[in-house]
Each structure stands twice: as C-alpha cells, then as structure tokens.
Amino acid sequence: MIQLVKLPVKRGNAPLRIAKGHFVTNHSHINYYVDITYQKTRLSEARDSAYQLVSSFVNITPTAEFNFWVDPEAAKIVVDSGCEIVIVPLDATHKAVMSLKDADELEASGKKAAIATASFIRHRQAGYKIWQPMADIDTVPIHDALAVCAVLNEDVLEDVRETYMDIDIAGGAADGMSICDLDKRYPDRKPNVKVALSANREIFSRMIKEIMC
C-alpha cells in the first residue's frame, strides 16, 4: 500500500503529496511518486497550483529579464556575436498593449485563430491584473507578439536606438542584467544592438487583427 506524505508549501493552498519507494515507468526508475490528483480535480488547489507555477516564470529579480537571468552567459554570447540584433524590451511591449475591447473585436470576427487569440488576451489580462496590474487595468502586453510584428513591420517599434549592450554575468544581484550605454559613456565601444524604447499601439493592434482575422 502506498503511503502518501503531504509536503507543506511556503505559500498558497496546494501542497504536494509524495510517496517514497521504488517506482518503474516505461522510461525510468524513480524513488518518489508525486500525486497530483487533487491539484487536477479540486478547483481550489488547481487554481492555487497554477498561481504558484506562474510565479516561477515571471521576472524574479529587480534587475534582469527572466530569460537573460536564466542563462546570462548565453545572452552575452548572442549580443557579442556581431549579428544584427534588435532588442524589444518591456519599455516597448508595455507601450503596445492589447485590450479587452481588442479581444472582443477579435472574437467577433468568428475566425478560429482570432477567437483563440481573444481567449489568450483575456487569460493574460486576468493574470496581469493579479501579478502586475497595468495603468489601464483592461490592457495587457503581449511581449513575443510585438517582437514578431517588428520582424514583419519595423514601423511598429518607436524610439529605436543603436547602442552598446553588455550582459552582467558576475553572479551577483545584477546577474543577467542587460546594460545599455544609451548615454554613450563608453565612446570606444561600438554599438552592437538596436533597442526599442517604445512602440506604436495602433499599428500593433491593427497587425494582430489583420493577421488573425
């Protein structure tokens, strides 16, 4: 008989239940079995589990974007590569946002892709409302979509500047931080990226609707 032991969590109401032993799957042998039945079947625990999982994939330091923080050495290799690079940071994505009204318009088109996009916007807005409320509570940034739209139409980005960028890989509090020399304090270092400090919300919204509808 498997005896499950409940492991407490630091916050929330979604403890893990595990059993110690020797378990065999088609791919491996494991010493611990993690039971997620309650997380899947109890609404309160499922919701809390989702919140805890999401919290692991948001920016968790005051200085570094999450992907750069996860692998700052890789980010540094890229910016030092000599390739043509356009950085689309939160400065830009938080200017080109989608709204719940945009979601309504997408859904009204009746197109499957547009309906799915509308659903994603609403779910994302609900998350941002809890974790990182926007100034306009009915809007939400769609980071990756703006970067893709910039490949299709560079006019969607605004205040784009050539600059020298470096990535902190020292392992301290600023590990993974992207440092842009916008004031040209290092005159001997040539620009290696273009960075967008703003974006055009109208163009971005129109592109999303045209592509999805």
As averages over each run of 10 residues, the pLDDT of the chain (213 residues) reads 69 68 70 68 62 59 86 95 95 96 97 96 90 90 96 98 96 92 94 97 97 95
Query: How confident is the model at residue 58, as a pLDDT?
Result: 60
Query: How confident is the model at residue 82, as a pLDDT?
Result: 95
Active-site residue identified among 22, 29, 123, 143 = 143
C-alpha to C-alpha distance for 123 and 144, rounded to whole angstroms: 16
Pairing of strands 5-7, 139-141: unpaired
Query: How confident is the model at residue 203, as a pLDDT?
Result: 98
The closest alpha carbon to 104, from 122, 128, 78, belongs to 122
- Active-site residue flag, 29: no
What is the helix (H) or strand (E) element at residue 49, kind and residue range?
helix 43-55
Q: What is the DSSP string of 98-155?
A: EEHHHHHHHHHT--HHHHHHHHHHHHHHHHHHHHS--SSTTEEE-HHHHHHHHHH-GG
C-alpha to C-alpha distance for 151 and 164, rounded to whole angstroms: 21
pTM over 0.75: no
